[in-house]
Chains A and B, each alone.
Chain A
Amino acid sequence: MIKMQQVSKIYPNGVTALREVNLTINQGEFVYIVGPSGAGKSTFMKMMYREEKPTSGSFLFKGLEVGKLKNRQIPELRRQIGVIFQDFKLLTSLTVYENVAFALEVVGEDKEQIRKKVMEVLDLVKLKHKARNYPNELSGGEQQRISIARAIVNRPSLVIADEPTGNLDPDTAWEIMEVFEEIHRRGTTVVMATHNRDIVNKMRHRVLAIEGGKIVRDEEKGMYGYEI
């Protein structure tokens, strides 16, 4: 699904974020990205939804050269990818329902379909009963579940999560991870950057460790591997 060959990213200010990274991620995999802050994790994630372009090398998503996409093709790419952030990125002026429906309105889905899909996905994240609430009436964990709902309502084949549990207490983090496990079980590829060693060590999946812009470790069912 994702195939990176000799991908490097050098920012205009001279900072090298990625150095000649080679990597393949298959459909249906669950991949943790670990590594110290500033190691290039975020750049790596951003490249996947084409917020950043590789400076050199080839980055294929489903056989498509992402770096060469024209600006007007980017929306199509993003509709196949769900993105989740540490800070949820919900719109406070919209209800839970509207926040999730937003992702479908934008792609021009009709009202009936939107209703059906949104309720389905709210059921999956177990927040159907809060559909009419506003985000700031919800706990952090609930807000993150809404943002997950928004990311997957389009049924993307790839879900990218940038430290989705970073702002949450351990118990809530586990609840969120259960949701990701469920998404993964349904066949969606999940790529998650995280600093949460407990999660990585207990919910075993492939681990990619990035340091200084290079992949220094790539293990099936790996461990977090960093001392805190």
Chain B
Amino acid sequence: MKFNGFRHLREGAKGLVRNGWMTFASISAVTVTLLLVGIFAMVMFNVNKISENVEKDVEIQVFVDREADQAKIDAVGKQLEQMPGVASVEYSSKEQELDRFKEQLGEGSEAYQSVEKDNPLHDRYVVKATSPDETETIAKSVEKMENIDSVEYGEDYVEKMFNFLDGVRVGGIILIVGLTFMAMFLISNTIKVTIFSRRREIEIMRLVGAKNGFIRAPFFIEGLLMGIFGALIPIAVVIFGYEATYGVLQPQLMSVNASIFSLIKPSELSAQIALILLGLGAFIGVWGSTTSLGRFLKI
């Protein structure tokens, strides 16, 4: 049995040319689908990154009672460090807090004058949990401790953000699945036209004893090529587009909150996204072509 790869490749390519407009429509459908998939995937990757950042960043602010003396303050610190689920504890005295506050207000303002005389701030501990799930439990038990004025953590904010991100994710996946099916449908129709125009050839192939695999191969390749061609533009657009977007957006986001809004570097994503789009394109193409063939190969 000789290797028929080149014959199948040639026949597959012929099929593409023969149905020029249908091929064009199918490739366009794959292009549009993959473009949206690509953009969405980039957004999702970054959303995931940011939500990870947020999760890591969730911290508990523990404000110590103003009546407490230094020994009691230190005791609180010790207690916090020994709590289960606590990753780190940072201390900032009321004087340090005041300095930060002053920085934010700017010297010479009225508010500055008033706080300068009598420091209204608390000594503060910043507690980080080992996992975001622990945050709430830790906060609750810290509240019950002695010499604590109040405990704050970003529970509402975090929850809202996660809900929003989940919504984005679900909506995007529905959109992508729909588009993928549309592209598959278009490709399967194109292949059907090819098959129809070549049904005589298929009939003769079967008559002289061609195996189904042999008959199927050119159509398989035709679909595969459509999928791959359809992936090329989206890959280029997504990779270069992301690089440009990253260049513009990243500095601005960093200035807002560096630890949360750090995007994924383009170099880390390019190869990955190219492979995903290429694979998805190939899958759409092959699936579209093989489903439409089955009927013609039954005896």
Q: Which residues of A contact B (CB under 8 A)?
A: 49-51, 71-72, 74-79, 83, 89, 91, 102-103, 105-110, 150, 154
What are 11 A-B residue pairs whose CB atoms fall within 8 Å in the complex? A74-B209, A74-B299, A75-B209, A79-B209, A102-B204, A102-B208, A103-B208, A105-B4, A107-B209, A108-B214, A154-B208
When the two chains form their complex, are residues B209 and A51 in contact, meaning their CB atoms are under 8 A apart? no
- Given the complex of chains A and B, what is the CA–CA distance between A103 and B205 in angstroms? 7
Tell me which of B1, B207, B209 contacts A76 (CB under 8 A): B209
When the two chains form their complex, are residues A91 and B208 in contact, meaning their CB atoms are under 8 A apart? no
When the two chains form their complex, are residues B1 and A108 in contact, meaning their CB atoms are under 8 A apart? yes
Chain B residues with Cβ under 8 A from A89's Cβ? 200, 203-204, 207
Q: Contacts A50-B299, A71-B299, A74-B299: A91 and B209 contacting too (C-beta < 8 A)?
A: no
Supply 13 further A-B pairs (C-beta < 8 A) apart from A49-B207, A106-B214, A108-B214: A50-B299, A72-B211, A75-B209, A75-B212, A77-B209, A78-B207, A79-B208, A91-B201, A102-B205, A103-B209, A106-B210, A107-B210, A108-B2
Q: Which residues of B contact A (CB under 8 A)?
A: 1-2, 4, 7, 200-201, 203-212, 214, 298-299
- Given the complex of chains A and B, what is the CA–CA distance between A128 and B150 in angstroms? 102
Q: Contacts A71-B299, A89-B203, A91-B200: A108 and B208 contacting too (C-beta < 8 A)?
A: no
Chain B residues with Cβ under 8 A from A106's Cβ? 205, 208-210, 214
Residue from A71, A75, A102, A105 whose CB has the most chain B CB atoms within 10 Å: A75
Chain B residues with Cβ under 8 A from A72's Cβ? 211-212
Residue from B1, B2, B203, B209 whose CB has the most chain A CB atoms within 10 Å: B209
Q: Contacts A79-B209, A107-B210, A108-B4: A91 and B298 contacting too (C-beta < 8 A)?
A: no
Across the two chains, which residue of chain B brings its CB closest to A89?
B204
Q: How far is the CB of A89 from chain B (nearest CB, A)?
A: 6
Chain A residues with Cβ under 8 A from B208's Cβ? 78-79, 102-103, 106-107, 150, 154
- Given the complex of chains A and B, what is the CA–CA distance between A154 and B209 in angstroms? 10
When the two chains form their complex, are residues A105 and B201 in contact, meaning their CB atoms are under 8 A apart? no
When the two chains form their complex, are residues A75 and B299 in contact, meaning their CB atoms are under 8 A apart? no
Q: How far is the CB of B99 from chain A (nearest CB, A)?
A: 82
Chain A residues with Cβ under 8 A from B203's Cβ? 89
Chain A residues with Cβ under 8 A from B204's Cβ? 89, 91, 102
When the two chains form their complex, are residues B299 and A51 in contact, meaning their CB atoms are under 8 A apart? yes
Q: How far is the CB of A132 from chain B (nearest CB, A)?
A: 20
Tell me which of A76, A78, A102, A105 contacts B206 (CB under 8 A): A78
Q: How far is the CB of B215 from chain A (nearest CB, A)?
A: 9
Q: How far is the CB of A157 from chain B (nearest CB, A)?
A: 13
- Given the complex of chains A and B, what is the CA–CA distance between A108 and B3 in angstroms? 8
Q: How far is the CB of B238 from chain A (nearest CB, A)?
A: 40
